[in-house]
């Protein structure tokens, strides 16, 4: 089943679209009993997604910050004239096989608030003009914001969240076992809250800041051996060392690359039955 809704930019002349009052539309999913997916991409504007107990997607739209700027700015040659605003936001919403895809026409700033069933996977992206906010969602969540922040609260499942220039805040109630997650920001802070009983292998890195945790984090140092010891004693008898043993207080290496042997991570290659491959 495929549903397509297009809210075209119509002049304010009393032409009405079949939608709820106040720039609000409702889009049903093909099969409410199956998992849902929501995909939204905006050039200008912000996205807010809230989970609720209904079956349909409810989309509300309003003009964003750049829209206000457009109304204040009068182009040369139009001084003294009255601007005629569009009543619609140039929004498109297409649903097919329980996947709802939403977008806005280029050049139009629109902040979207979308209500979807709680068990909905998300793929959201923004470039300019707003934050991505998600609450009360369970599923696979992927969000990417270039010039705005990311805030996910009361969510469950797996998360990939990136904000280039602002903060990433994620509060997870439950995580999906054996599912990789990623949280990153180049110029903002990353604040992640995991369930108290969560057990995970975590890789942390910062280029311009500090890392704090109230979890009992057990660091796994880079395992290595001194080359001479490794050659003389062999793998089973050589003394395991940590890389930080060979780094000075001034963050300079005390040995050269030829002096150390590193231990590789365990292989994650599996056979056709999903069992660890044997070489």
Tokens of 181: 């997650």
pLDDT band at 262 (very low <50, low <70, confident <90, very high): confident
Stretch among 169-178, 226-235, 241-250 having the lowest mean pLDDT: 241-250
- pLDDT value at 22 more than 50: no
Query: Which one has a higher pLDDT value, 260 or 276?
Result: 260
pTM > 0.75: no
- pLDDT value at 242 more than 50: yes
pLDDT per residue as tens digits for the range 149-203? 999 999 999 999 999 999 999 999 999 988 889 999 989 999 999 888 887 777 7
Rounded CA separation 42/177 (Å): 31
Q: What secondary structure, in 3-state letters, does 139-181 show?
A: EEEEEEECCCCEEEEEEEEEEEEEECCCCEEEEEEEECCCCCC
Give the per-residue pLDDT at 208.
Answer: 73
Tokens of 242: 């940590």
Name the strand (E) or helix (H) holding 233.
helix 227-233
Give the per-residue pLDDT at 72.
Answer: 52
Distance in angstroms between the alpha carbons of the first and the last residue of the chain: 47
Give the per-residue pLDDT at 13.
Answer: 29
Contacts of 176 (CB under 8 A, 6+ apart): 140, 157, 158
Give the per-residue pLDDT at 26.
Answer: 92
pLDDT per residue as tens digits for the range 127-155? 998 999 999 999 999 999 999 999 999 99
């Amino acid at each position: 089943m495929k549903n397509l809704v297009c809210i075209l930019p119509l002049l304010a002349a009393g032409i009405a679209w079949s939608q709820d009052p106040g720039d609000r539309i409702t889009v049903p999913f093909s099969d409410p009993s199956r998992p849902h997916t929501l995909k939204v991409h905006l050039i200008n504007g912000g996205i807010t997604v809230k989970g609720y107990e209904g079956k349909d997607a409810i989309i509300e739209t309003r003009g964003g910050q750049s829209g206000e700027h457009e109304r204040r700015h009068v182009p040369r040659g139009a001084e003294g004239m009255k601007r005629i605003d569009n009543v619609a936001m140039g929004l498109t919403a297409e649903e097919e096989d329980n996947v709802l895809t939403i977008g806005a026409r280029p050049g139009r700033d629109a902040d979207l608030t979308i209500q979807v069933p709680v068990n909905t996977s998300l793929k959201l992206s923004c470039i300019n003009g707003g934050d991505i906010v998600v609450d009360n969602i369970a599923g696979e969540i992927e969000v990417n914001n270039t010039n705005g922040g990311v805030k996910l609260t009361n969510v469950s499942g797996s998360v990939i969240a990136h904000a280039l220039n602002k903060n990433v805040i994620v509060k997870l109630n439950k995580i999906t076992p054996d599912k990789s997650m990623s949280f990153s920001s180049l110029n903002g802070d990353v604040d992640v809250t995991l369930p108290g009983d969560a057990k995970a292998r975590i890789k942390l890195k910062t280029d311009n800041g500090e890392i704090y945790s109230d979890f009992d984090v057990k660091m796994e140092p880079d395992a290595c051996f001194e080359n001479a010891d490794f050659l003389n004693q062999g793998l089973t008898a050589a003394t395991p060392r940590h890389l930080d043993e060979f780094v000075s207080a001034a963050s300079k290496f005390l040995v050269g690359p030829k002096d150390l042997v590193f231990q590789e991570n365990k292989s994650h290659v599996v056979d056709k039955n999903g069992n660890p491959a044997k070489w």
